[in-house]
Structure 1
Amino acid sequence: MAGAALAGGIVVLGAGGFLLRRGDHGGNHDAYFGALQAALAQGGLAQPTLVIDAARLDANIARLRDAVGQAHLPLRVVVKSLPCPTLLDRVAKGLSTNRFMVFNGAMLSAMLALHPDGDYLFGKPLPAALVAELYARQGAAALANVQWLVDTPERIAAYAAIARANAARMKLSLEIDVGLHRGGFADPAALAEGVKAALAADCFEIGGLMGYDAHVAKLGNPDAAWADAQRRYGAAIRALGDIVPGDPRRLTLNSAGSYTVMRHTRGTVANEVSVGSAFVKPHDFDIAENGRLDPALFIATPVIKAGHKLDLPGHEYLDGPLAFMDPNTAQAIYIFGGHWMADPVSPPGLQYSDLIGHSSNQELLTASWRTHLKPDDSVFLRPHQSEALMLQFGDLALYEKGRITERWPVFSASA
């Protein structure tokens, strides 16, 4: 049945053959990836490896430093997006910041060991049991510079019990919904009730607000979405100021992320921005706002098998029609590992096979005969994101001046 459907699909395509035929996009590594392949070979790296381009990384750091500096916006480095101590240090030093955003207990604990005097803000609310465990393990004094994110009155009450049990005065930041609709206090009235509940508990210090606005870059009218997000955040600041003594701008008013940081640098109601992924610019962050940033993170993996035709299992007779309709399916190339959140970028013309599917062991990529690869050559893929993927390859490889100069350990895997 599956074979008949597949063959039938090719027949249907054949009816409009020349109209649907794809161009040949094959080729070989350009000078950049050719030099990177040579550096990997010289460094003896013969397994899937995440490579950081030092020059591109430093250029991205400088561009973001200049943008937030001109806007007088402090930058908070997102740990989950750059989960490597040496990489985080390089970025933080480049930005002259000790502010970090964390998202789980494991990375907070690791960062406290490395930077006990850092300023930490949670980017999502944690289950109360995990917060209690962190207090039991770290002690209240070690957690004094942590702002815990809360999103509901119920979470405020649960955290109050933890604070009292540890004779601690916890610092809270309140998550607000600025249009993403992923939770948080939905409007000024709800926020006011949350702030009042926190103050009434008498075991909290109000740290400020956090409003994440990634949706702005993904909607059909980003300018309108941006204006709405700013309006919502401004209303939240006013509501906070009506209850908490003093100027609310002395508190943390956090927003942004790699999708919207550049918008914030042109004027914002927030007083600090969080950025992580943009420093290495994975594929998901290829938006116009990030046009001056360069991709600095690549997966490099060896070719295991190459140089023979696809030989579609059970349907070998379709190799010719498939290659005619799409020359980029003519050649089968199997790589070391695979099924990553990434797209092949070099050599050009490589593509995944929808007919075969993915493999984490030996991923099949197809190419035209204009692509010349042999076993032990390298294929390069560009990650969609950096965060979880960066923990899958062991030590990062730093590519600098034509050589692999350093290996940077990453954090232990955590969710």
Structure 2
Amino acid sequence: MSNGVAALNAPLVGAAGSRARLETPSLLLDATAFEKNVSVLAEMAAVRGMGLRPHAKTHKCAAIAKAQLEAGALGIACAKPGELLALFEAGVNPLMLTAPVASRLKIDRLAAAAARGADIAVVVDRAQLIADYAASARAASATISILVDCDTGLGRTGVTTPAEAVALARMIEAEEGVTYAGVQAYAGNVQHVLGFEERRAANRVANERLQAIVTALKAADLAPGIITGGGTGSHMLDFEDQVLTEVQAGSYVFMDEGYRPVDLHGAGEEVFRFALFVAVTVIAHSANGEAITDGGTKSFAIDGPPPRAFLDGVEIGTIAWAGDEFGRLKTHDGHAPPPAGARLECTVPHCDPTANLYDVVHLVRDDVLEAIWPIEGRGLSD
């Protein structure tokens, strides 16, 4: 365990009232909300007869990934080789790398892991990448599954036409050491469209482009066994459209302020609970009486709406930044700045990069610190 707050908090595990005694800044995971989020999406997917492959770019934590697998997930998606390999070493399998790479050394590391038992699938967007994966797999006496990466509107990676997808699928089938597994199409441009009907329309455009690719592959006798994509913002729409065979939702497990205004199911109601918080402590007060906390921009990813701050479960204000190390509590009307030593629990602007700032996450249930989980993929953006 690190020499930071995790070491200071370790003696509190299992102690009554330990949640309120945590040293800060510390990353908290509310066990009740977390477990509910995992089960809710798993049940929705099961009812629709679709698979889930939750994306670990959100949490990078083996304990969380294992909970998702135990709830019925087909596997775990990863954005980068580093986080995938860290999760494999921590006992997570199967694993899918959802972005192309351009490093033969990284490909060799993936192939070596496959030779040691990692069940790895990857995506490709060009012929050379297929050849590189195949050569590394053969050299390692391993097998790697490959999906064709398709761009249906995000404008980041992937082929855009049915002809390109068919050509790559044929190349995969012709290589030894790799197997053709299907296609990926992540409509990231859809996920944060706020209105449900507007998001449905945007997602339908993406799925129509994907359906044209799937139809062409079937006509070429290359029917994709896996059609993967989607996310937290589009999960219900993808369950409805039934073009994908599985959904790669990630943020649903934590939730954040960026997703808070997104009407996920069209009823204006909460679907997933806020489970991730950053605990901070009031360390002083400014000359005008504002509470200053010990959590600044090194404790929160700030690419999203400001965190809401809670004292004893009551929302009392929002956090404004007072520097890299410090926050400034902007209290709501009717709430006085809390005294020095008061501990606040704050929502996060953006959950994925916030989790990446911490070595561990503190699992809390009611008022008790239940466990401290390592975030094995923390900082592994390679």
* TM-score normalised by length of structure 2: 0.82
The offset of 1:109, in angstroms, is 2.0
Equivalent in 317, 332, 337 of residue 349 of structure 1: 317
Q: Equivalent residues in 2 for 1:181-192 (5 A)?
A: 181-192=155-166
In structure 1, the residue matched to 2:264 is 289
Change (3 A) 1:138 1:350: closer
Change (3 A) 1:135 1:49: closer
Matched, 1:309 2:287: yes
- Which structure would you say has the larger Rg? 1
- Count residues in correspondence: 345
CA distance in 2, matches of 1:73, 1:388: 28
Change (3 A) 1:358 1:174: farther
Letter aligned with residue 78 of structure 2: V
Q: Which stretch shifts more, 380-389 or 223-232?
A: 380-389
Is the contact between residue 48 and residue 393 of structure 1 (CA under 8 Å) also seen in structure 2? no
Q: Which stretch shifts more, 197-206 or 100-109?
A: 197-206
CA distance in 2, matches of 1:395, 1:279: 16
Letter aligned with residue 268 of structure 1: Q
Matched, 1:46 2:33: no
Change (3 A) 1:53 1:129: same
The offset of 1:141, in angstroms, is 4.7
Q: Write out per-residue CA displacement over residues 165-207 of structure 1, whole angstroms, 9 at most, x where no aligned residue.
A: 3344432111101111212011101112222232334443101
In structure 1, the residue matched to 2:371 is 406
Matched, 1:199 2:167: no
Letter aligned with residue 295 of structure 2: G
CA distance in 2, matches of 1:218, 1:85: 27
SS of structure 2 residue aligned to 1:179: coil
Is the contact between residue 257 and residue 307 of structure 2 (CA under 8 Å) also seen in structure 1? no
Unaligned runs of 5+ in 1: 1-37, 311-330
CA distance in 1, matches of 2:79, 2:274: 24
Change (3 A) 1:183 1:344: closer
Matched, 1:377 2:342: yes
Change (3 A) 1:139 1:273: closer
Q: Equivalent residues in 2 for 1:4-403 (5 A)?
A: 39-41=18-20, 44-93=21-70, 95-115=71-91, 118-135=93-110, 137-138=112-113, 140-143=115-118, 145-219=119-193, 221-245=198-222, 248=223, 251-286=225-260, 287-289=262-264, 291-306=270-285, 308-310=286-288, 331-339=289-297, 340-341=300-301, 343-346=306-309, 347-352=315-320, 358-367=322-331, 370-403=335-368
CA distance in 1, matches of 2:116, 2:220: 28
SS of structure 2 residue aligned to 1:407: strand
In structure 2, the residue matched to 1:19 is none
The offset of 1:100, in angstroms, is 0.9
Change (3 A) 1:223 1:337: closer
Letter aligned with residue 414 of structure 1: L
Is the contact between residue 114 and residue 142 of structure 2 (CA under 8 Å) also seen in structure 1? no
Unaligned runs of 5+ in 2: 1-16, 310-314
CA distance in 1, matches of 2:263, 2:229: 19
Q: Which stretch shifts more, 166-175 or 261-270?
A: 166-175
SS of structure 2 residue aligned to 1:284: coil
CA distance in 1, matches of 2:66, 2:25: 24
Letter aligned with residue 363 of structure 1: G
CA distance in 2, matches of 1:362, 1:141: 45
The offset of 1:242, in angstroms, is 2.6
More helix by share: 1
CA RMSD of aligned residues (A): 2.4
In structure 1, the residue matched to 2:6 is none
The offset of 1:378, in angstroms, is 1.6
Change (3 A) 1:140 1:182: same
The offset of 1:164, in angstroms, is 4.1
CA distance in 2, matches of 1:167, 1:90: 31
SS of structure 1 residue aligned to 2:240: coil
Change (3 A) 1:279 1:81: same
The offset of 1:139, in angstroms, is 5.5
